[in-house]
Structures are given as structure tokens and as C-alpha cells.
Amino acid sequence: MHVILQGMELGIDRFDIQAVKFTGLMHDVGHGPFSHLYHEQMLVNMVDYIVNEHHIDVDPQMIRRVKEMILVSSECALPKSSSEKRFLYDVVANGRNGFDVDKFDYITRGCRAVGLGCNFEFQRLLETMRILDDEICYRAKDYLTIHKLFDTRVDLYRTVYTHSKVKAIELMVVDALVQANSYLEISSHIDNPLEYWKLDDTLIKTIETALGPELKEARELILRIRRRNLYQA
């Protein structure tokens, strides 16, 4: 209840709430297949493309705010067009300290997917957080809960994301895509949202099931991955 009351005190309105929700929904649409690269600018382009292509009735000011919220996480600077409610820009992707709901989501989801225990309980923090000096703050006695988030993230990187076999598969997928690029023209899509959205994990199946000689080397790499004949360090 105190969160709702403080929201009233801070002047948070429906526009603010919708902007944060929209940002949470859209902040990853710029990711390419198997990658977090080429993110922010394509993300902004994809937001415009999705809204225009599907004739979504959204206030242009809302779209501008959402794109600002997306970009500010990487630039860590408040857009000149916004001089208040800086804390709203820290909810989805916090460029100031990295503590945000995006991490709440992917860390708990990642732990569940790989069977890694996760003792981080973000719900408690959401109930007790406050806004002080235009920044999201937490109680000092909750420091262990906050520490658990980053500790769990370290565990995920150490045991999953940077595991030797995972990195070997990543390198082999990259090599397969590079080998296939001259035939599938993958790189020609990266600057055009109309084509970019079509790039997804099915690229692997396209390579794997191709019968012609053009994708032979790429196909052999995917087959090696399937057979766990991976690159060795």
C-alpha cells in the first residue's frame, strides 16, 4: 500500500506507468539471434517499425519516452527532454547501478531453466523500496537480499554462461553463421527492421536442413554441435 501512496506523492500518473510497462515489453526486441549485440539502435528502430507496421495507436510522446528509457540504460545520462522523475528510467534497465527488474527477470528465469537454486526474493524489495532524491532506494537491512542477486548472477556466469562447452558452442554457431552468410545474406538484414525481425534461431534449422553444397561447411559445424564434437580449448 505504501508504494501506491508514495506513487501519488511523487506525481506518478498513468502515462508514466504505461511508459515503464511499454519499455519492459520492448527493451529486448533489438536483439539478434543468439546475441545481445547490435542492440540499442536497432531496438529503437524496431520500436518505430512495430508501431508503424501494425498501426498501433500510441501517443508519439509515449514512444519518445520509451526510446529514451531504453537508451538511457546504456548511456547512463538523463535525456535533456526529461528533467524530473529520473527514477522511472531506472526501473527496467538501471544505468546507474545495474539493479533493475530486467535482472530480476532473467536471473530467476535463468536459474529455473538450468536447475540452479535461486534464493533471491525480489518481491520483498518491491514492497519496501522508496524513492529518495529521485533515486530508487532500499532499506539498509536488505543488503543481503541485494547481494544475493549479484551473487547468483556471478554463479550463472561462472557455471552456465561462460562454461567451456557453452563457449565452444557459441563459437561454432558464430562460425556456422559466418560460413552461411555469403549464401543466406544474413548481414544484409541487420540495418533494415523489415528484414531484421525475420532473423531468429530458425537460421540453424535452415542451415541444418539445406541440401545444396552452398551451406556444406556451415551444415557440418551444426552437425558437430548436435553430436557434441565441440571445439577444444
Active site residues: 39
Contact 27, 40 (CB under 8 A): no
Residue 230 backbone dihedrals phi, psi, to 5 degrees: -90, 160
Q: Please say whether the dihedral angle defined by the alpha carbons of residues 218, 191, 41 and 92, taken in this order, is positive or negative.
A: negative
Q: How far apart are CA 11 and CA 13, in angstroms?
A: 6
Question: Which SS3 state, helix, strand or coil, does residue 92 take?
Answer: coil
E-assigned strand segments in the chain: 130-132, 135-137
Q: How many CB atoms lie within 10 A of CB 150?
A: 14
> How many Å apart are CA 148 and CA 111, to the nearest integer?
13
